[in-house]
Each structure stands twice: as structure tokens, then as C-alpha cells.
Amino acid sequence: MINRQARRAIIATLVSSGLIVPAQAKLFIPAAPAIIKPSKDWAAHEKKLKANFLPGMMPAWHRQPAGGSTPTVIFNGTPPNPTINIGNSTTYTFTNHAISTAAADRLVVVGIGRYRNAGTVNISAVTFGGVAANLVAGSGVGLGSTATGVVWYQLGVAAGTTSTIVVTWTASANNCAIAVYSLYGLISSTVNDVRTDSATAYSLPFTNPAGAILLAMGMSTAVTTVSWAGVTENFDAQSEAAMTYSGGSIANAGASTTVTPTWTSETGLVVSGVAYV
């Protein structure tokens, strides 16, 4: 019997002489797997994911403001009055106006209304404590050559409990009213939604997510009263016995809230609203 060592020597000799060819190793390729088909609900699930995810962020339904608290809003006025100055002037100064408690995350948002007799009157500048405030894009309604007008400005103000607010117009305005709000605990200082109306329905159909803060302000060239749906009324006041300013706010609003003011007289009415989360 040939031992193992002798057998290997014989095979090596035969291979080297070309009399036999060793078998080649074969690459193992597994059978193709079955195609994995998405479930019939995948399209809806994918749409939800795309709508609620951004790189580095949690889904919208899990996000919380800094500190994990619900955003809050404070109206800095004495109900039922906004702060109204009468002066037929281009510059209106509201000295040391209350802006509530100082906080690193405080956003001061101001609704500004004006009445003018003639000409074109728009805002030239707005400052809080000497610092230029930012226009909330798309929030202006009326203004220009329209007798009535409302617009919103905002600025992050961390320090102090008061601020001198100066509103400068491009031409003389008969009067100027401001509604000053302090917002805390927001996810973002960027406005979430803006709505305006100067038609006959006078509604603000927000597309806000649940938990948003909503602010609304309107004015009419008539002595009238107003009731609000969708927000809590903060002020309802007359100026010069000829016009009315009114507005309201709400924290933790329901999703896609429609804000509707009902005026007993709707002459020259304009309404504007903003949403934050």
C-alpha cells in the first residue's frame, strides 16, 4: 500500500509533467433572493417620513422646544387697549413699553396699525431699543394708499423688561397703534405661517401645526366692537372716535386653526395674523 507521502510525490510528478491537471476551485454564488416588495401602506409611510424629517432633526411629532416646555405668549398691554399714539406724525415713539420677563429665548413680536387721511404711507423703519426690528415677510395688509393698514415686526430681545419702540412712516399718519407680544420657548424664531385678509370673509385660515402660537390684529375705520374665534381677544379699542383696533392671541393652538373676527361694522377693515412654533 502506498502511503500518503508517496502518493503526494507521485501526483506532484504527474502534474509537473502535464499528464494531469488539478481541478480548479469554483466560486460559490448563492441563488438570487426573492424580490422584496413594499407593503401597500409604504407610499403613505414614505410621504410621512419625507414631511417630518430633516437631516439632524427628530420627527416633527417628537420635537420639543428648548427645555422641553410648551411655547408661551404674553400680551404686553392693559386689556382692552393696545398702545395708541395720536399725532399726525411720521415718527411715533412708545417710550419704555413693557416687553415682559427677560429671557435668552424671548422673541418680541409687534403688530403695528395706522390710519392716514391722504397720500401713500408705508413703514420706513421700526426699532426696539434702538435696534432695527425685522419685518415679518408677507404680513402687511392695506398700507400704501389704503386708509388702514396692519403689519408685524419682530426681534429677539434677551435683556430688560421694557423697550422704547419707534415706528417711522414714509409720510404723516394720523395715528399709530402697536400690540406688543413676548413669545418664549419657540423651536424657531422664523414665522411658521402668515395670513392676511381685506375682503369680506375676514378669516385667517392658518396651516399651523398643533401647539403653535397664533397672533392676530385688525382695524376698521368705524367705531365698532369685535369678537374673535380661534384666538383669545387681547384688545378692542377706539381711536379719535373714528376707528377701531382689535386683536388676540393663543398658545398651543390646534392644527390648521382658522381665526375669524366678527365686526359689528366692517368699514375699511384689514386683518393680519402670524403663527410661530
Query: Do the beta carbons of residue 151 and residue 200 sit within 8 Å?
Result: no
Q: What is the pLDDT of residue 205?
A: 96
- Specify the higher pLDDT residue, 209 or 24: 209
| Residue 222 pLDDT grade (very low, low, confident, very high; cuts 50, 70, 90) | confident
3-state secondary structure (DSSP) of residue 5: helix
pLDDT of residue 83: 85
- Which pLDDT score is estimated for 48? 47
CA distance linking residue 66 with residue 263, whole number of Å: 38
> Could you tell me if 11 and 20 are in contact, meaning their C-beta atoms sit under 8 angstroms apart?
yes
Mean local confidence (pLDDT), 261-265: 87
Cell numbers that stand for 118 in this block: 391722504
Query: Mean pLDDT across the stretch 200-212?
Result: 89
CB 97 within 8 A of CB 163: yes
What tens digit of pLDDT does each residue of 59-115 get? 333 344 444 568 999 999 876 667 888 778 999 999 999 999 999 999 999 999 999
pLDDT tens track for 172-187? 999 999 999 999 999 9
Grouping H, G, I as helix, E, B as strand and the rest as coil, residue 223 is: coil
- Which residues, including other chains, have CB under 8 Å from residue 47's CB and lie 6 or more apart? none
Q: Of 232 and 64, which is predicted with more confidence?
A: 232
